Chain A
Amino acid sequence: MAAETGKHKGRRRVIPLLTLILTLALSTLTSGCWNRRELNRIGIVSAVGLDLGPDHKIELTVQIIRARAMKMAEGASGEGKAVWVVSSSGDTVFDAVRNLVEKSGRRLYYPHNSLIVLGQELAREGVRPVMDLFARDQEMRLLAWVVVAQGTAADVLKADSELNNVPSKQLEDMLKNYNIVSKSVGSNLLEFDDSLLSKTTQPVLGRVVLDKVSGKNELRLDGAGVFRGDKLIGWLDSTETRGYLFIKDKVKSGSVLVPSPGNPDQAVTLEIIRAGSRVKPEWLGGKARFEIDVKVEANLVEQASAQKLSSPDMISVLEEELNQAIANQMRTTISAAQTHYKADIFGFGTDLMRAYPEEWQGLAGKWEAEFPLAETQVKVQSKITHTDLSQ
């Protein structure tokens, strides 16, 4: 009798354990879980392009990574492209995204998207309607780069890359390192959304240019597109962009050419090592004034003439020329922004608001009209630290 009850007790203890094991095993083996996506059932999107299609529809072009081709490339053959560029159209971006599945079959996976290209036509029409999804959807990354294409975004995504088997990665690298050359702007979705939402600062995006070189399309990051509100209104060339970057304190490196002292035909190349800038806003009796202080450290890296430039006198002459050159670049940009585009791309309004919050109250509504009238003063202090080995 005692053994009998003991047995029952034992069985009662075994049942929960069995239940646990069964639950785990069944849920492992039979779950078609709601958000499980096996890697070979999704298409990884590496870049997105947006264009304006006929009938004001939105043309969405995506670069999907072709895993098969990547696997081939690991072997020897390397046949086939590593990405598949495919387009669809829809009334909204999400509509187009869903329509893409008609062509791809697989669910497209956006978290690894690192590039959003906006076609010029679309950008001129206004980008706010198309950017909403990218800020809202939890699959989209805010760290994706945003650029504006001089032509269509689809062409940019179709261009080849020689270094990377995923072409968008090359553009991504260009954008990552834009401040080594400092002739274009790299801004990510977060920064772009930020300036889109700003009441005073106007967005600036890097410009992608497509060059036809011996039958192949080559991408080049050059200059920048200026927006007013969410509409593209014009371009900054590479010099103007450099000036813009100096004012925004985004220059890291880059080369500046100055005439050789005594031989104005021949150039001396200076490489910027370090640069820093500060904008000091002032509100003087109804007039805004901005003082821009730039400090630059540079190296002499190349000279065409045979002159000895390493003497302190020469160096100070070169420093003065560098000051002038950089100040001129900035002045050009400022005048373009003030007179041509009438768009506060520098964020001067924000600087002013922070320094004079009370005065800003009256100014907030009419800053757009006030900005072109603002006075600016540019000061550059440069220092040439090395002339390298050459005498």
Chain B
Amino acid sequence: MFNSGISSGPVSGDLADGLQANISALKNRFKNSADVIYREFTLGFASNPKAVLIYIDGMINQETTSGTILKPLMFDFDGRDSKRSAGPNGAGDMADVIANRALPNKRVQKAKSLKDVVDGILCGNTALLIDGSAVALVIETKGWESRNVDEPGTESIVRGPREGFTENIGVNSAMLRRKIKDENLRIESLELGRRTKTLVYLAYIDGVARREMVNEVKRRLNKIEIDGVLESGYIEQLIEDAPRSIFPTVGNTEKPDVVAAKLLEGRLAIFVDGTPFVLTVPHLFVEGFQSSEDYYSRPYYATTVRLVRYLAFVIAVLLPAGYVALQSYSQDLLPTPLLISMVASREGTPFPSYMEVLIMGVIFEIMREAGVRMPGAIGQAFSIVGALVLGEASARAGLVSNSMIVVVALTAISGFALTSLADVIGLLRLFFIACAAPLGLFGILMGGLTVLIHMFKLYSFGVPYLLPIAPGNLNDLKDVFIRAPLGSQVFPPRILGHRNLARTTSDRRPPGKD
């Protein structure tokens, strides 16, 4: 499956010599498909045989088809060599001549079976059938409307490249090539999905990514048996190590610079046609806390921001649960003035605190979901209502306490600070609330241990999920809680890459201080 080009399945009937026979065979295949166009014409040379171009409307570039196929074949090409080649195979060799001399397209393939022709047409290529020839030419004419390279919507940054991947896999792989101009950058292709026949690229740097890992990823990709791949999420769920875990063991990104950085660390990237989200494997837990910007800004600030992200994670996961535990069980741990103000705000509210947390959490999730899905035009009305409902009004009405609103708001903001971990955070938050409601701080402790034990058990393509925290490695920890200066990150992370590849050998001493 890993050869370039289109896969050749079982031969389901060869092409016939006669043009009409072939056309009716194809028409039989594409029953009731109004968008399949059959352009019949006469070649402008040799014995002026009849020919037909078959393509799908909208998937081809019209100018390419008319300018580089129809025009030469009807007018420009004088038919040189076509007589000489009229040997035993006759018109069969005419296809060769036309491919070699008449068509300036970037890829022209000969097809002998009906299936190859059908597959080619479905991919957006144009098939040329000539009367009296059992060989068709599949000419690359793909060209459909696609989005321009744009700033990615999910990963905003302040400093760094603003381009993001598009839905076009060719554009995407080119963006990666432009970042890594190394002959060892391998981009292998395969096709996944029985019906969607989605093009998938596997990218890695030979010699940096470990061979066993490349083989493992290939093995898992080849095992996929599915009718359709509409987004990289399908592949992610079919190759991940722990499909039942809430933790993602496959990463995704919309940014070429992030993919390039991951490849340089020895990871692999999986491009899927039709989506800007590129998968990266293996994916470790700490990657959720790393941002491409950490490496573009100077280390002190990057370290601070990274520590803030860890703090935000803890707040987003544990604050509501901790609030419930402190309010319902361990009031003695609070400073007296804080307790008094919390009592004051709790006074007169009807529900126990865990119900409050759940109610506000659900309201917030509804608002978030509505905010993502709703049309932009009603956004303003929505945000006013949302702010009123979630904010002042619910406290004024005595439904929830003021301090609860602060907790929910702080939790929500913290969750937004880590978009890539958002789904994990939401689930863990619920889990910990469920632990804290019946058991208080003890429940949180037990829940935390459960989650940790689960995380220790996880692997991503043979790499422990919590690497380099556990199993610990001092060298790799330079890029976990802190972001050490680039000069000191000489080696790519262990396991992922080869130990002896120095990433930088630059002298980090200040100039003039030898």
Contacts and interface: CB of A to CB of B under 8 A. Distances in A.
Nearest to A27: B438
Interface in B412-455: 431, 433-435, 437-440
B348 interface: yes
A67 B329 contact: no
A166 B340 contact: yes
Interface in A187-230: none
A33 B434 contact: no
A27 B352 CA distance: 14
B439 A33 contact: yes
B336 interface: yes
A314 interface: no
A384 B349 CA distance: 60
B438 A33 contact: yes
Given A44-B340, A141-B332, 20 more contacts: A17-B244, A24-B431, A28-B434, A28-B437, A28-B438, A31-B437, A31-B438, A36-B352, A36-B440, A37-B329, A37-B331, A38-B353, A39-B343, A40-B346, A67-B340, A74-B344, A111-B331, A112-B336, A112-B339, A166-B340
Given A25-B434, A44-B340, A67 B439 contact: no
10 contacts: A17-B244, A28-B433, A28-B434, A33-B438, A38-B328, A39-B339, A39-B342, A44-B340, A67-B343, A74-B344
Contacts of B55: none
Contacts of B344: 67, 70-71, 74
A68 interface: yes
B126 interface: no
A27 B434 contact: yes
Interface in A73-131: 74, 109, 111-112, 114
Most buried by A among B329, B353, B438: B438
A109 B331 contact: yes
A82 B340 CA distance: 11
A36 B328 contact: yes
Contacts of A109: 331
A67 B347 contact: yes
A65 B347 CA distance: 12
B382 to A, nearest CB: 30
A35 interface: yes
Contact of B349 (A24, A40, A68, A114): A40
Interface residues of B, number: 29
Contacts, number: 80
B354 interface: yes
Given A27-B434, A40-B347, A40-B349, A70 B327 contact: no
B341 interface: yes
A175 B311 CA distance: 38
B173 to A, nearest CB: 37
Given A36-B328, A39-B346, A40-B346, A70 B341 contact: yes
B434 A24 contact: yes
A68 B347 contact: yes
Contacts of B440: 35-36
Contact of B343 (A25, A28, A31, A40): A40
B345 interface: yes
Top 5 nearest A-B pairs (CB, nearest first) are A111-B332, A70-B344, A67-B347, A31-B438, A24-B434
B331 A70 contact: no
Contact of A36 (B329, B340, B345): B329
Nearest to B356: A38
A214 B439 CA distance: 53
Given A28-B438, A67-B343, A38 B336 contact: no
Contacts of A24: 431, 434-435
Contacts of B434: 24-25, 27-28
Interface in B318-343: 327-329, 331-332, 336, 339-343
A35 B431 CA distance: 21
Most buried by A among B353, B434, B435: B434
Interface string B169-184: 0000000000000000
Nearest to B342: A39
Interface string A32-58: 010111111010101000000000000
A17 B243 CA distance: 14
Given A67-B346, A70-B343, A39 B353 contact: yes
Contacts of B438: 27-28, 31, 33, 36
Contacts of A71: 344-345, 347-348
B437 A39 contact: no
Nearest to B447: A24
Contacts of A70: 340-341, 343-344, 347
Contacts of A166: 340
A65 B341 CA distance: 11
A299 to B, nearest CB: 34
Contacts of B244: 17
Given A24-B431, A111-B332, A44 B339 contact: yes
A139 B339 CA distance: 16
B52 to A, nearest CB: 45
Contacts of A114: 336
A38 B437 CA distance: 11
Contacts of B352: 36, 38
Contacts of A67: 340, 343-344, 346-347
